Each structure stands twice: as structure tokens, then as C-alpha cells.
């Protein structure tokens, strides 16, 4: 990602937005919240699903396969890891730059896997593409965790990388490798990596059982390391990972999240006991209501609530209550609402990459609605009954806004609809491809394109950008990384929501 960080002032704003009961939206989400989906869809969710998965091919690092569909990309970073004599080729660039950040890459993998776990059964022809997108990440995470009690968590130096505007194929900035180990622990990224490997093991359980078993075995080992050697990677690697992907929420949420995924993947009672024994200490009952690459509390609550709602595990009853509290906090027409919405109806959490909160929240809404429906349950929000249909309706409104139902009639997914961002903050997309310009573009030479008003020459199909501001405005400027930069962790949960919507409207 480029120039992305959460400053102390923005963190304060995030906290304020999370805990202040702002009720800005009285109209669009409320007016038909009792209704069913209409019989027609205003969007082609199937096409959007295809594009949302295709985006990941544009973010690939390493040696590209023969069936690569984003053809303006070429091989890149083929010597990654050589600085420490290890193979770290592959994985994803997280956003518009050329660094491989392990923390958001692992979260992306977990959410892409969760999308497939919940909605892969209705993805039809896109299921194989979704699996391949997961595997591109897990193949890399297996390399990054190949040595016991060690995880390679970053390749590339963000400072020097951000000082250049160059294609990944031209990279000449240092590809330094950074790791966590017993002496420099990083519980957040280790536990998130365990979550990613566990979730992915469920994706491949039937289609590739051997690979699935490899993933879950590695997840068990990585989680043991995360739990045994506790410490924040933002402390040990502060100068490397901050301010780009500092962990502000601590590592307790990742331990709970990682244990929840291992419980789901292994059914081993050890992880259930771990959750029961440590849940409160790990913040299971915290009232925060954001879900993102940094904070997993909400996701863990929703995930664990399934074990109570569907599998009737009574010992996890409290997680249903905690999940309900989260749901009530984001539903705008309930007395417990704490969420802020733009005048056009978009959930607004913060100015930096706000669309990540929109896609992650929408996914949690449709997923929780699925769990509730299976048990004929609803949510009581201070005397207001919220049904699964209402949750799906709110999620649909968020996705529809993203796809173009907004005051600007702008699709925030590149390549979808007739009007979408033309100048996204993304190096590879904004510079001429190797096909057109095979000679090297030097580090600083690319800034002439960065500063240009010309549209990006390469369309990064499916990329979802940071999105509009709190007033529904979007300048479409390459320099505006807060609003114009795409990221893998924006797309990953959207894949699941789009699969659900495409199926529910008969498009799949």
C-alpha cells in the first residue's frame, strides 16, 4: 500500500466514530427495511463477482502462471527472500505499491477463504477462480512459515518503495526481508497467519485433501508459536511496519480469532477450551464495532456465534449476545445504533480506505443472516426486532452503493459499470505496461504519470478503491491515496457478499 497509515488523530477519529451514537441515516436503509429483495436486480452481481476475483490476479507477485488473465502484468520480484537465503517468491502486493506486507496479506487470505467457505457452494464457475486466488496466498504463507518459530512477515522496505513510482516488473528498491521469531515476537501477524491457514484448509478440504491437511498442520504450529511467544510486532519491528500496518488493537483479538478458526477447522476440543478459558481476557466482550485487518474481535464473535446458533454449543452462548450487540450497533434504525452513514447511505467509519469497512461489514451481515436463518432466529436491538432479511437488505444497499447506486452514479469497482475511477493510486495500473513499454521506467521517472491527469493506461479490473468521503464526494485523483487506492483486504470480503447476491437474484 502506498502512504497508508493511521495517525493518532485518525485513530482518535476512528474511536469516536465507533463509539459515538451517530444516527445520520433515517431514510434509505430504513424506508424498506421490512421488505424482501425486489424480484429484479439493479446490478449484475455475477459480473461484479467475476471482476472482484480477477482483481487478485493483478496483485500477484512472483512468476505468473500460463493462465494469467490480467495480461498487462508480468513476472516480478523473482529473487524475494534471497537476502536471507530463503524462497519468498509469490504472494500479493497488498495495494498500490510493491511491498509484501504479511499482516494484511494473511487477513486477506482469511477473508477470501471465509467468503468461499460460506458462499462457495453457489459460486458455480467462479469457485475455481476463487480457490486459485486463495492458493496464491497460501502457497506464499507456507513459504513464510517454513521454519519453526519463525515467520517472514515483510519483503521490501516501505520507505524506499514509496519514494519511487515504478512498475513491480521494474523494481530496483531493496527487497529486504523482515521476520518475527522467539526473540522478536509478533503475535498479531502469527495468529492471523494461523487463522488464514486454518480457514484455507476448509476451502481445500474436498478438492485437495492433501493440501488441506498441510495447511491445518502448519496452522496448528504457527498458532502455538503465536500464543507461546507473546508480543506485538509493532514493537519489535516498529521502524519497519509502522506507520503502514501498525497493530493498534493489540494481539488479543488475533489470538481469539486464530483459535476460533482452528476450532472450526479441526473440531479439536483444545481450541474450544482455549476460547472458553481465555475469551474474556482476549476481549471477547469488548464493545468495539469495527472489523478490519487490524481488529478481529467482531469477526471472531460472528464466527463463534455459529457454533452456538447452528451447532448448539451452549458454552459459546455469550458470543451470540456479543454478535447481536455488534449487529445492533450498525443497524441505523435501532436505538443501539452507533454507526455513521453518508447522506447517500454509505457506512462511513473513517476517511482512509473507508470501503474496507463497508465490504467487511456487509460480509458479516449476510453471513450472520445465514446463521440466524438456519436456526429461525432474529436479533433484538433495544426492543426493535431485526430479522435476517433486514440484515441482507442493509448489506445489499451497501454493495449497491459501491456498484453505482450513489449520488455520483459512480461505481467504486474499476471496470464495472459505465463510470468508475480512472486515476487509481496504483503503480502498475498507472504506468504503461511491459507490452507497450518494454524498457525500464526508472524510480523517479514514473512520477510524471503520477502527477498527470490522464486516465490510467491499464484497467485493474475489479479493484475496489477507498471510496468517497463522508459527504459522498470522490475527486478521482491519483494522489488521493485515502480514496483512490485499492487493496486486497477491501475485495476479499466483497467476494462472499457478491456471491450471495448473485445467487439470490438467480444470476448464478
What amino acid positions are annotated as catalytic residues? 425, 476, 485
C-alpha cell at 339: 454507526
Beta strands in 169-253 (DSSP E): 177-181
Beta bridge partners of 178: 154
The span from the CA of 162 to the CA of 346, in Å, is 30
The interaxial angle of helices 209-228 and 252-266, nearest 10 deg, is 150
- Report, in this order, helix, strand and coil percent for the chain, each rounded to 5: 50, 5, 45
For the chain, the maximum distance between any two Cα atoms, rounded to a whole number of angstroms, is: 65
Q: Taking CA 181 as the corner, what is the angle to CA 180 and CA 187, rounded to the nearest 5 degrees?
A: 65
How is 375-396 classified by DSSP, letter by letter? Answer: TT--EEETTEEE-HHHHHHHHH
- Secondary structure class of 347 (helix, strand, coil): strand
The residues that bridge with 340 in the sheet, in sequence order, are none
150 membership: H or E segment, kind and range:
strand 150-155
User: Could you tell me where the DSSP H helices lie in 233-336?
Assistant: 233-236, 238-241, 252-266, 269-278, 297-309, 317-330
According to DSSP, the β-strands at 100-101 and 177-181 are unpaired
Q: Which of 156, 166, 136 is nearest to 57 (CA)?
A: 136
Write the CA distances from 250 to 29, 127, 134, 277, 455, integer angstroms: 33, 34, 26, 19, 40
Write 142-146 long-range contacts (CB < 8 A, 24+).
Answer: 142/197, 142/214, 142/215, 142/218, 143/81, 143/86, 143/87, 143/88, 143/89, 143/90, 144/88, 144/91, 144/102, 144/193, 145/193, 145/197, 145/218, 145/221, 145/222, 146/86
Which of 304, 297, 252, 301 has its CA nearest to residue 278?
Answer: 252
Radius of gyration of the chain (CA): 21
Give which of 364, 282, 277, 360 is closest to 325, Cα–Cα: 364
Cα-based distances in Å from 155 to 94, 172, 335: 12, 13, 46
Short-list 122, 359, 103, 362, CA closest to 254? 103
Amino acid at each position: 500500500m502506498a502512504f497508508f497509515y493511521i495517525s493518532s488523530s485518525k485513530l482518535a477519529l476512528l474511536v469516536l466514530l465507533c463509539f459515538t451514537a451517530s444516527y445520520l441515516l433515517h431514510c434509505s436503509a430504513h424506508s424498506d427495511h421490512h421488505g424482501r429483495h425486489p424480484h429484479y436486480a439493479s446490478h449484475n452481481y455475477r459480473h461484479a463477482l467475476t471482476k472482484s476475483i480477477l482483481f487478485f490476479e493483478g496483485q500477484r507477485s512472483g512468476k505468473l502462471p500460463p493462465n494469467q488473465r490480467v495480461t498487462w502484468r508480468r513476472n516480478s520480484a523473482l529473487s524475494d527472500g534471497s537476502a536471507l537465503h530463503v524462497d519468498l517468491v509469490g504472494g500479493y502486493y497488498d495495494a498500490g505499491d510493491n511491498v509484501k506486507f504479511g499482516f494484511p496479506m494473511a487477513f486477506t487470505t482469511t477473508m477470501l477463504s471465509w467468503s468461499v467457505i460460506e458462499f462457495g457452494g453457489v459460486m458455480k464457475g467462479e469457485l475455481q477462480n476463487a480457490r486459485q486466488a486463495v492458493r496464491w496466498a497460501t502457497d506464499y504463507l507456507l513459504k513464510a512459515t517454513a521454519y519453526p518459530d519463525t515467520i517472514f512477515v515483510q519483503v521490501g522496505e516501505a520507505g524506499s518503495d514509496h519514494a519511487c513510482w515504478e512498475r513491480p516488473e521494474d523494481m530496483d528498491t531493496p527487497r529486504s526481508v523482515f521476520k518475527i521469531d522467539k526473540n522478536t515476537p509478533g503475535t498479531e501477524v502469527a495468529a492471523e497467519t494461523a487463522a488464514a491457514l486454518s480457514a484455507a484448509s476448509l476451502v481445500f478440504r474436498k478438492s485437495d485433501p492433501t493440501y488441506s491437511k498441510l495447511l491445518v498442520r502448519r496452522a496448528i504450529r504457527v498458532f502455538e508459536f503465536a500464543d507461546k511467544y507473546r508480543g506485538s510486532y509493532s514493537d519489535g519491528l516498529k521502524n519497519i511496519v509502522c506507520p503502514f500496518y501498525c497493530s493498534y488493537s493489540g494481539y488479543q483479538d488475533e489470538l481469539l480469532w486464530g483459535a476460533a478458526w482452528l476450532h472450526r477447522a479441526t473440531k479439536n476440543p483444545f481450541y474450544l477450551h482455549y476460547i472458553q478459558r481465555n475469551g474474556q481476557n482476549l476481549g471477547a466482550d469488548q464493545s468495539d464495532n469495527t472489523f478490519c485487518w487490524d481488529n478481529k474481535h467482531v469477526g471472531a464473535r460472528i464466527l463463534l456465534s455459529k457454533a452456538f446458533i447452528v451447532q448448539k454449543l451452549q458454552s459459546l452462548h455469550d458470543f451470540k449476545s456479543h454478535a447481536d450487540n455488534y449487529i445492533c450497533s450498525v443497524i441505523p434504525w435501532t436505538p443501539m445504533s452507533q454507526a455513521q452513514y453518508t447522506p447517500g447511505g454509505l457506512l462511513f467509519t473513517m476517511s482512509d480506505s473507508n470501503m474496507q469497512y463497508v465490504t467487511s461489514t456487509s460480509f458479516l451481515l449476510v453471513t450472520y443472516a445465514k446463521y440466524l436463518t438456519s436456526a429461525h432466529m432474529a436479533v433484538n436491538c433495544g426492543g426493535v426486532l431485526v430479522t435476517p432479511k433486514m440484515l441482507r437488505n442493509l448489506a445489499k444497499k451497501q454493495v449497491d452503493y459501491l456498484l453505482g447506486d450513489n449520488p455520483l452514479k459512480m461505481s467504486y469497482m474499476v471496470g464495472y459499470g459505465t463510470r468508475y475511477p480512472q486515476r487509481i493510486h496504483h503503480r502498475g495500473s498507472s504506468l504503461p505496461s511491459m507490452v507497450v513499454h518494454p524498457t525500464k521506467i526508472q524510480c523517479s521517472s514514473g512520477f510524471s504519470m503520477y502527477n498527470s491527469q490522464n486516465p490510467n493506461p491499464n484497467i485493474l479490473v475489479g479493484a475496489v478503491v477507498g471510496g468517497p468521503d463522508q459527504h459522498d464526494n470522490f475527486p478521482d485523483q491519483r494522489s488521493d491515496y485515502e480514496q483512490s487506492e485499492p487493496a486486497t483486504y477491501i475485495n476479499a470480503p466483497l467476494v462472499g457478499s457478491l456471491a450471495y447476491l448473485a445467487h439470490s437474484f438467480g444470476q448464478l
